[in-house]
Amino acid sequence: MLPSALALAFFAIFAAAADDKPCTAYDGSRYYDLTPLQSRTDYEFSSLSGQKYILNVCRSVVHEMWNVGVDIDSVAGFMSKDRGDFSIGKVNTTLLVRDKHPLLILTEGSVCPNAEHMHAMTAVRFICDTSVFGSGTPQLVAQLPPEDENACSFFIEWRTHYACPAGEDAGLWGGLTVAIFIILTVGLMSYIVGRTLYNRYVLHLRGFDQIPRFSIFSFTDTLDALQSCGDRLLGKRGGRAWHEESTRGGRRGFERLPTHPEEEQAIMENGSRGPSLDEDHAERGPNSGGHASEGQGQARGVDAREVIRL
């Protein structure tokens, strides 16, 4: 129950964020974005009668106008007439979705010719068409009244692949997530390659034994392996795991014990054993104990009382 509530809250947050972005909208899980249709040059099209129209998406037109009767900085589209230009609607960035098609409603255009209390309005319906690779071209479907001089309501259809549902741009968090994923993937591949080379050329393992086992994943051991490989490449004799040093008794010991079963087996197979306690005792003889004999540390001709005898 709780995960479902969190998922709904997460979706609601992103839906609200999408609604705040101009010319974007959600329709269930489908996301629409018409911002690529914003252009520095206006779109031009003509009706069947030859009337020319100028239109832009989610921004005002850049064409020069005269005697339009409204604020020219807010005109989303217009048509030219004998007595001046006629605005067909005001800029609107609120995108609607009707029957899986994005829809823009442009209102508050110029005053209608036959109704001074009404202003021109336009409905632009965008249709998903993957065969149109470019922005496409708007097309006038109908106008009311039908005559060009008296028309005040316009219905435009626009086929473009930008009207198809698309994935939302995740922005900073999406880019950060992708970067972290790439870093982790590169790190994992580097670990696999490095550990395999270490097992093959340092531990002399072959076959499947040289492939790292992820059940025993230790960052410290990985660093030790890398340092050992680096020491060998630089010409040093052994790394931390295999560094030998002389002891006071003349024997040789390891600086630290092996940490992997592979290292232990390599020591048992390739390393040499030291003499056992029995062999060592036999070499020293029965009088070579921990304490020196009384006569060993004295010169000849001197007894235990340090009296010189001739």
Looking up tokens 């550990």 gives: 195
CATH 3.30.420.40, domain 2-163, yes or no: no
pTM above 0.75, yes or no: no
Rg (CA), the chain: 44
Contacts of 188 (CB under 8 A, 6+ apart): none
3-class DSSP state of 127:
strand
Contact between residue 30 and residue 166 where contact means Cβ atoms under 8 Å apart: no
DSSP of 79-126: EEETTEEEEEEE-----EEETTEEEEEE---SEETTEEEEE-EEEEEE
Domain parsing of the chain, residue ranges: 2-163, 171-270
Provide the edge-to-edge strand list for the sheet that holds 84-90.
Answer: 43-46, 52-55, 75-81, 84-90
Q: Is it the case that residue 87 has pLDDT exceeding 90?
A: yes
The residue-averaged pLDDT of 19-34 equals: 87
Q: What pLDDT shows up at residue 248?
A: 43
Distance (Å, rounded) from C-alpha 152 to C-alpha 89? 10
Q: What pLDDT shows up at residue 234?
A: 72
Q: What pLDDT shows up at residue 203?
A: 84
Instruction: Give tens-digit pLDDT for 112-149.
Output: 998 889 999 999 999 999 998 889 999 999 999 999 88
Q: Is it the case that residue 13 has pLDDT exceeding 80?
A: no
Out of 180-184, 281-285, 286-290, give the one with best mean pLDDT: 180-184
Q: Is it the case that residue 108 has pLDDT exceeding 80?
A: yes
Looking up tokens 């209390």 gives: 117
Q: What pLDDT shows up at residue 125?
A: 97
Instruction: Give tens-digit pLDDT for 224-280.
Output: 767 777 777 776 544 444 444 444 444 444 445 555 666 666 667 665 555 554 555
Q: Is it the case that residue 16 has pLDDT exceeding 90?
A: no
Contacts of 242 (CB under 8 A, 6+ apart): 228, 254
**For all residues of the chain together, what is the average pLDDT?**
76
Instruction: Give tens-digit pLDDT for 167-223.
Output: 655 455 666 777 888 999 998 889 888 888 888 888 888 887 788 776 544 556 666
